[in-house]
Amino acid sequence: DAGVTQSPTHLIKTRGQQVTLRCSPISGHKSVSWYQQVLGQGPQFIFQYYEKEERGRGNFPDRFSARQFPNYSSELNVNALLLGDSALYLCASSARLAGGQNEQYFGPGTRLTVT
């Protein structure tokens, strides 16, 4: 079975531009979460979606938005890019929302560079 996939792998944008990152969860997984990992830090939670509804939002500005589609894939959008948005963006999927081990499986990430 395929794992979590993300596209594109790498991306270079300039300040002020907009970017869309894509994620496909593991087959059968209905929950998708997005994390931002800046260099030298652990991942920071951005959003969680379950059954196409937003179920959690981290401490990020409104420039960050996301959505989940009927096939459970997800997009993360970032508007008006800043240099500080340069990071590895990780998508994680899980079978359900919470309880027990229910680990999140991570994709390879999209490395965004803002110049």
Contact positions toward other proteins, by CB under 8 A?
33, 35, 40-45, 48, 50, 55-56, 58, 88, 90, 92, 97-109, 111
Strand ranges for 1-115 from DSSP E? 5-7, 10-13, 19-24, 31-37, 44-50, 53-57, 64-68, 74-78, 87-94, 105-106, 110-114
Considering the complex, what minimum distance in angstroms separates the CB of residue 16 from other proteins? 26
Question: Both tokens of residue 19?
Answer: 């970017």
Considering the complex, what minimum distance in angstroms separates the CB of residue 111 from other proteins? 7
How big is the chain by its Cα radius of gyration, in Å?
13
| Minimum CB distance to other proteins smaller for 2 or for 98 | 98
Considering the complex, what minimum distance in angstroms separates the CB of residue 58 from other proteins? 7
| Minimum CB distance to other proteins smaller for 15 or for 96 | 96
| Minimum CB distance to other proteins smaller for 18 or for 27 | 27
Considering the complex, what minimum distance in angstroms separates the CB of residue 80 from other proteins? 25
Alpha carbon 14 to its chain centroid, in Å, reads 20
Question: Both tokens of residue 64?
Answer: 């960050």
